[in-house]
Structure 1
Amino acid sequence: MKKTYFIWLGVQFVVWAIALVGFPSVLNEGRIAGICLFFIILFIHPLFTEKPRIQSILFYVQAMAILIIFYPLEHAFNPFLLLIQALIMAEAVFYLNRLRSLVVIGVQLGIAAWIVMEANLTASQLTWCGLFYFLLVIAMLHYQVVRKRKLDVRKKNDVLLSEYRKIRRLLLTEEEQARQDERMLIGHEIHDSVGHKLTALLMQLEVFRLAAAEEDKEKIKNLKELAEQSLKETRRAVRSFKQKEVGGLQGVIRLIRKLELESFMKINFSVKHGAFAAPLTGEQSFAIYRAVQEALTNIMKHSSTREAQVLFESPGGSIFRFEVINLTALNPFFQEGFGLRAMRDRLEKVGGSLEIQHDERQFVVRGIIRLIERSE
């Protein structure tokens, strides 16, 4: 609305600057007072955008000011009256509903008829003025009808968009629940079948070890330790199936997909230099996931744009680097909050570091994790 007001104001200044050229020699005190009144109303008009009744009264007062300014004292008609009245009618149609705007248009047409009757106009000039006002009113009413339809369509689109988001959220929830149920089912199957059989095998090996000869007990002991390790690995796998949240690169891809569907973010995800083959531990993968999640969440909350770039790379296999870039203006009041500090602490615990780059063009969150010790 602020931008629209300045557009109206600029057009008014241009038209008035040209219109005043039409009667520079007859600018008496009454006309100067009318011009002052007109522009006072023009400047205070935005204060009453939520009060259509007061806006209508202001338009009526502007019509009276137009009558004072353009009244043909010497029967001289200023044709720029048509443009100024057209602007007032257009503003009334833009800001008011149909009934109030029709009343304002009627008042303006009455003022125009009075001025035209007092001026010495020929029949062709009267016909031209009548045709101009007729086409102007038809265009204004047509614009109002089209604008009303557009607002109705926008409201319907907003409702449909809200319903779409609810359905997408429900589908994602159901999909996640189905995936979790499937993981739980697989975990139970592993636990009930493989786990129980390994436990039975351990018991039979122990019984066999007690009854075996001394030279065979060492071999049976090794077999028992191998079975115990297999049982521990099976239990660890079952516990991982029960974990609901998935971190690492897979979790980042799912997070990006969720944000694009639900929050309509535009995310450019790039993977370079063997990032998928980087030897990351589980803790490092989860720390990367949390860092990217926090950075994208901050973009949604604080950025004026809903676009981001996510980059993963592992140059040389010695380090893993990720970047989350958001093209936004510089904020002179920026300070690191709890989320960024927690992100830095989490990365430092897994042998990494966090860098924040903030300039006039972009905001960059860059994390680096060293992989040298793990590769060795």
Structure 2
Amino acid sequence: MCMNLYWIWLLFNAVAWSFAILGFSGDLSEITWRLFGLSLFFILFFFMPLVKEKPVISTVLIAINAVISVIILFPQQGEPFNLFLLLILSLLIGEAYYQLSTRLASIIAIVSTIGVIFIILNKDLSATEISFILLYLVFLIAAIILYKQTKNEKDDFFLRYDVLLSEYRSLKRRVVSEEESARQEERTLIAHEIHDSVGHKLTALLMQMEAFRLTADEKDQEQIQSLKSLASESLEETRNAVKVLKSNEIGGLQGILRLIRMLETESFIRIQFSVKHGAFTVPLTGEQSFVIFRSVQEALTNIMKHSNAREAEISFEAPGGSVFRFEISNPVMNSYRFEEGFGLTSMRERLDKIGGQLEVQKTEEQFIVKGFIKLAD
């Protein structure tokens, strides 16, 4: 989006200057220095994206371009006032109010106004021309200030919306976490009840049957042994049921997909899944599942923070059953360099701890996070 705006501003300036230079007159040397000034104007214009994060430097560059425009289009002997100067200064003032704060943008408006007034004072213009120029500047600045106020209110509205949305997501996660905690407590309570009642009674039954077997007749031994085996199997199944009830961990890729699906619902991101080469059946441990989920979650969090595109592609694969690979990619709309922050660094450390590796790539069109984990034989 930012790059598209840059090209739009460039197009507007190029068109305005194309018509403005048609009014150039004089000898070759005079036209030459004007063209040199025009070249300097566009050189500074091309520097603007590099200092976008430094508003003071941006203000200086735009102010210099305003002065250059006034100097280049200053009417020479016998030349009329070049009205395209007003259009070029309007573009500079508009760009300043769009990118900078009101205080810094006002500096550009003041510099441009002083330049136009300097031309009025040093050239013999008619009253009609002077009135038109002054009214144009007054209406332009008033309109841009009104636009800036409206834009600030809109930005404030979206900021409050994002804060409320973040609070809603946090509350939703907390509710889900509390529900899961209550559910787990209930499961644990049921497991204890089964263990303390059914488990103990089956154990006592086995002990009594063993005591009865020692005193029973030979003809009843086979039936008693069969009953004892049935009681042992029941006790083992009860113990397994207790273990399942106490377990709160869903391992494997299925658990990861369940957690990511919940994150997708909360974050309103369109996610395309791609599962290849037996990734569904790969035997992941609980720690591996947790690290993969946290890695995917961090990648999606980066998308929410730094990307305007609410979409991502996630792929899992386990070629040969020796490694588990995952890849998260999303489209990007800027060419800025990225630096690994705390989230990506933590992701890399988690993967290194379990023998994995992380790779982060940024192209002109995509931001890609890749990782793999070595699986046990």
| TM-score, normalization by structure 1 | 0.69
Q: Which residue of 2 aligns with 1:10?
A: 11
* Residue from 68, 90, 97 that aligns with 2:71: 68
CA distance in 2, matches of 1:25, 1:106: 30
- Is the aligned partner of 1:95 residue 2:138? no
Equivalent residue number for residue 255 of structure 1:
259
2:42 pairs with 26, 39, 62, which one?
39
Residue deviations 1:281-337, cap 9 Å, x none? Answer: xxx5865999988777665556877434789xxxxxxxxxxx9997768xxxxxxx9
Q: C-alpha offsets along residues 152-194 of structure 1, whole Å, 9 cap, x if unaligned?
A: 2343334334433433332333222212111111111111121
Matched letter for residue 199 of structure 2: G
| Distance in 2, Cα, partners of 1:57 & 1:265 | 40
Contact 1:168 1:261 in 2 (8 A): no
Shift of 1:34: 3.4
Alignment of 1:80-229 (within 5 A): 80-116=84-120, 118=122, 121-229=125-233
User: Which position in structure 1 is the counterpart of 2:61?
Assistant: 58
Aligned length: 325
Equivalent position of 2:245 in the other structure:
241
Assess if the C-alpha contact under 8 Å between 2:259 and 2:293 holds in 1: no
Q: Secondary structure at the match of 1:245?
A: coil
2:133 aligned partner, one-letter code: C
Residues 24 and 31 of structure 2 are in contact (CA less than 8 Å); yes or no, is this contact kept in structure 1? no
Cα shift at 1:127:
3.9
Q: For residues 307 and 65 of structure 1, do their structure 2 counterparts lie closer, same or farther at Cα, with a shift above 3 Å needed?
A: closer
- Per-residue CA deviations over 1:66-93 (Å, capped at 9, x if unaligned) read 2321221224121211110101111221
Per-residue deviation, 1:19: 1.4
Q: Secondary structure at the match of 1:307?
A: strand
- TM-score w.r.t. length of structure 2: 0.69
Measured against aligned partners, the alpha-carbon deviations of 1:90-133 in whole angstroms (never above 9, x if no partner) come to: 12212332223223212212222332455565554444333322
Cα RMSD (Å) of the superposition? Answer: 4.3
Shift of 1:229: 0.8
Q: In 2, are the aligned partners of 1:98 and 1:144 still within 8 Å (CA)?
A: yes
Identify the residue that residue 321 of structure 2 maps to in structure 1: none
Q: Which runs of 5+ in 2 are unaligned?
A: 304-308, 317-324, 332-347, 357-364, 372-377
Is this contact kept in 1: 2:48–2:58, CA < 8 A?
A: yes
What is the CA–CA distance in structure 2 between the aligned matches of 1:250 and 1:12, rounded to whole Å?
55
Amino acid across the alignment from 2:107: V
- Distance in 1, matches of 2:291 and 2:299, equals 12
- CA change 1:248–1:101 in 2 (3 A) is closer
Write out per-residue CA displacement over residues 22-73 of structure 1, whole angstroms, 9 at most, x where no aligned residue. 2255644553443344334323344443444444343443333223212212
Q: Is the 8 A contact 2:66 2:112 kept in 1?
A: yes
Q: Distance in 1 between matches of 2:124 and 2:232?
A: 112
Report the AA paired with residue 49 of structure 1. Answer: K
- Confirm or deny: 8 A CA contact 1:34 1:65 kept in the other structure: yes
What is the CA–CA distance in structure 1 between the aligned matches of 2:71 and 2:86, rounded to whole Å? 15
| 1:307 alignment counterpart | 312
Contact 1:296-1:324 within 8 A present in 2 as well: no
Q: 1:176 and 1:143, CA in 2 relative to 1: closer, same or farther beyond 3 A?
A: same
SS in 2 for 1:71: coil
